[in-house]
Amino acid sequence: MTLQNTFQSDHLLLKALRGQEVSRPPVWMMRQAGRYLPSYMQLRRKYDFFTRVQTPELACEITLQPVDQIGVDAAILFSDILVVPQAMGLEVQLVENKGPYLPKTIENRSDINSLVVSEAADRLGYVYEAIRLIKSELNGKVPLIGFAGAPFTLLCYMVEGKGSKNFDKARQFCIRRPDLAHMLLASVTEVTTEYLKRQVQAGADVVQVFDSWSGLLSPDDFKAFAEPYLLSIAEALAPLAPVILYPKGSWYALQDLSNSPYVAALGVDWCISPSMARKLTGSTITLQGNFDPAHLHAPVDQIKKEVHRMIREFGHRRYIANLGHGITPDVPVDHARAFVDAVKSYTPDM
């Protein structure tokens, strides 16, 4: 799919990414295809996680569930950011109730040299096949968002070997051996760029890059270990599809990132106010976010009020309504639907 073909669409998401006038903001939710949906849990009981990810028919079914059941304005591919380290030759396990575990971590130059780079994107054919199936099933109903993890976030897992609150080992690796850190980041960036290009070729209308752990970095370290690689990916993908960057917690980077002509939108979490996010970005770029998923446990009427206030504060133009991070498994389905319905009921005169 070419950029021209994508941008001929009148879908709200694509219009918002172009900064065009919309009657209301588009809405979708990070992790919208997941454990809060009973239909997803049925498949979870039958198939392990990577079977679900690596089986195109299952990935397609899971991707479509929130579109059909919640009414979101975009589908996002059901996959995982750690398929890239897998494709690069690292074993990735998903330990029940604990999260991801990588038995072999990156520690030295030899480990980096042993990674698969040039052929890694070839190993992710199941993702591209899933995208083709999803696009066929969607049949133009809503756009499809492809995604990947940002290089720094993937470095965190590849060096730490598991999830962590602070990723101390990974951050210390960057400081002790910045030469090796940049070597690893460059390799991951190369693979991720090609991976996202192939997602677009398979049919993804938009791509989002998740830098889930960049908020652990100081502003100076972000500029060294995160920003150059995010912008490199954006520059490479922008001629093909709109690019959304989501540097969670890195509010200090919004101004610099918004100055890039290659970034279509920036995702923000709930730890920054809409007014401050607009001020930092000069209201020149589409923003996405930033409803706290914990507030989806509020009464439905309160969810509606908070959503409408959020939209008023961001402004309904150059804005994509979303959560500030992924929906949690314990959110009632009717509360997730209330969030989406609240956005859809919004009118600019509210």
Residue 283 belongs to some domain of the structure:
yes
Q: What is the pLDDT of residue 96?
A: 72
Helix (H) or strand (E) run with residue 76 in it: strand 75-76
| Averaged confidence pLDDT in the chain | 95
What share of the chain has pLDDT > 70, as a percent? 97
Residue 299 belongs to some domain of the structure:
yes
Q: What is the pLDDT of residue 5?
A: 43
Q: Write the burial class of residue 250 (CB in 10 Å: 0-12 exposed, 13-18 middle, 19+ buried).
A: buried
- Biggest distance spanned by C-alpha atoms of the chain: 61
Q: At what angle do helices 300-314 and 333-344 cross, to 10 degrees?
A: 40
Active site residues: 31, 35, 44, 80, 157
Whether the predicted pLDDT of 8 surpasses 50? no
Residue 262 belongs to some domain of the structure:
yes
Q: Which domain holds residue 62?
A: 3-344
Residue type, 122: D
Number of helices (H), then strands (E), belonging to the chain: the values are: 17, 9
Indicate which CATH number applies to the domain containing 272: 3.20.20.210
Neighbours of 97 (CB within 10 A): 4
Q: What is the pLDDT of residue 79?
A: 97
Q: What is the pLDDT of residue 6?
A: 43
- What is the CA 10 to chain-centroid distance, rounded? 22
Q: What is the pLDDT of residue 126?
A: 98
Residue 350 belongs to some domain of the structure:
no
Neighbours of 265 (CB within 10 A): 26
Whether the predicted pLDDT of 104 surpasses 80? yes
Residue 349 belongs to some domain of the structure:
no
Whether the predicted pLDDT of 203 surpasses 90? yes
pLDDT tens-place string over residues 63-97:
999 999 999 999 999 999 999 999 999 999 988 77
Binding residues for substrate are 31-35, 50, 80, 157, 212, 325
Binding residues are 31-35, 50, 80, 157, 212, 325
Q: Are 248 and 271 in contact (CB under 8 A)?
A: no
Q: What is the pLDDT of residue 348?
A: 85
Look up the pTM and report it: 0.95
pLDDT band at 3 (very low <50, low <70, confident <90, very high): very low
Q: What is the pLDDT of residue 10?
A: 86
What share of the chain has pLDDT > 90, as a percent? 94
Question: Rounded mean pLDDT of 161-181?
Answer: 97
The sign of the torsion formed by the CA atoms of 58, 294, 82, 267 equals positive
Q: What is the pLDDT of residue 14?
A: 97
| CA distances from residue 347 to 24, 88, 266, 344 in whole angstroms, order as listed | 6, 47, 23, 8
Dihedral of CA atoms 48, 121, 167, 295 in degrees, nearest 10, equals -60
Question: Rounded mean pLDDT of 318-338?
Answer: 97
pLDDT tens-place string over residues 217-265:
999 999 999 999 999 999 999 999 999 999 999 999 999 999 999 999 9
Residue 267 belongs to some domain of the structure:
yes
Q: What is the pLDDT of residue 60?
A: 98
Instruction: Give residues with Cβ within 8 angstroms of 318, minimum separation 6.
Output: 16, 19, 283, 285, 286, 287
Q: Are 31 and 81 in contact (CB under 8 A)?
A: no
pLDDT tens-place string over residues 265-276:
999 999 999 999
Question: Rounded mean pLDDT of 50-56?
Answer: 97
Question: In the chain, how many domains are there?
Answer: 1
Residues facing residue 101 across a β-bridge: 93, 162
Question: Rounded mean pLDDT of 178-206?
Answer: 98
Question: Rounded mean pLDDT of 338-343?
Answer: 98
Q: What is the pLDDT of residue 175?
A: 98
Whether the predicted pLDDT of 281 surpasses 80? yes
Residue 80 belongs to some domain of the structure:
yes
**Which residue from 206, 191, 208, 202 is spatially nearest to 147, judged by alpha carbons?**
208
Residue 145 belongs to some domain of the structure:
yes
Whether the predicted pLDDT of 4 surpasses 60? no
